[in-house]
A = this chain, B = another copy of it.
Amino acid sequence: MGEDLSDLGEFEVIRRLLARLPPGHLIVPPGDDAAVITTGQATLATADLLVEGRHFDLAFSSPADVGHKALSVNVSDIAAMGGKPRYAMLSIGAPAATPVSVLEGLYDGVGEAARAYGVTVAGGDTVGADELILSVTVLGEPGAGGVVRRSGATVGDLLCVTGELGGAAAGLFLLRAAGSDGAARVLAERFPNLLRAHRRGNARIREGEAVAVAGARAMIDVSDGLLADAGHLCERSGVGALIDAHEVPRAQGVEEVEEWSGSEGIALAGGDDYELCFAIAPGDLDTATRAVAPTALTVVGRFVEGSDVELSGAPAPSTLGWDGFR
């Protein structure tokens, strides 16, 4: 596997890794005590901590996949505010026996995502740890439609999602089962889009800003699963929601995986899709639909009096989202 981290030492590792990132627009680049970045008067800030075996598995994803996804999930939080990502701080903890090539792959993926999203990696930290850990903070700025919070949904608003759901969860199902289940292997070969949805993620920056401009009143990204994340909008907005299970757009192959696995509701409760879920007045729907094209926009329900998410057309799935400690 080549050199490991203990062969090189911290400073040489950092030097090699920084060379893999795109150059950015920094007043003071990485290597000083702090980065100096240019920002507007308001800054959006979000952070996620990803731990091997919990949030990613190098048996299922390449190091570059993991690096790409680590940045994507944070950029997605900025997109869900209608904002534009600008800078990232990336800290990595890794066992000393980690091959340097693994960290180089992680940074290649971070670099690819940084280029795609227009993000500059402004700094971070690299330390020893018992397990592989990525900690990412992304800073952004409000988009042309201003900041869209979770709390603005009102009764009568439509509940919409971008793209298709369930792909990431279905992909993870297949990756976990493919070692022992021939049918899973067949499905995995037939629907590589599902594996990719799990491995990479894809933050909807353009769409987030577009629906904000079109008048979205509350927004969240689908990281915990549609039902859980729609529930977050309800809780913050003080409203309820009705979701029609038949209207929920499923990624290609999700129905086949639901049928094979017996896990109904992958598209309803599966997390990690990083599509956007938002509230919009019926009169603004056409504008929003045109604004996000060619990405699909689907009405999956509406906001009502109440405080809970009610589902019609299917039994409620047994797992509603993700809990980090259980």
Contact surface of A with B, Cβ cutoff 8 Å: 5-6, 8-11, 13, 27-28, 31-51, 53-55, 76-78, 80-81, 83, 87, 89-94, 96, 122-131, 133, 135, 137-140, 142, 147, 149-151, 219-221, 236, 323-326
Contacts and interface: CB of A to CB of B under 8 A. Distances in A.
A326 B96 contact: yes
Given A27-B147, A51-B127, A130-B131, A78 B45 contact: no
Contacts of A45: 34-37, 87, 89, 122-123, 139
B123 A46 contact: yes
A4 to B, nearest CB: 9
A41 B140 CA distance: 13
Contact of A325 (B78, B128, B151): B128
13 contacts: A10-B323, A28-B147, A33-B46, A33-B80, A36-B45, A36-B142, A46-B123, A47-B91, A51-B93, A54-B128, A127-B324, A128-B326, A137-B137
B49 A133 contact: yes
A149 B96 contact: no
Contacts of A91: 47-49, 135
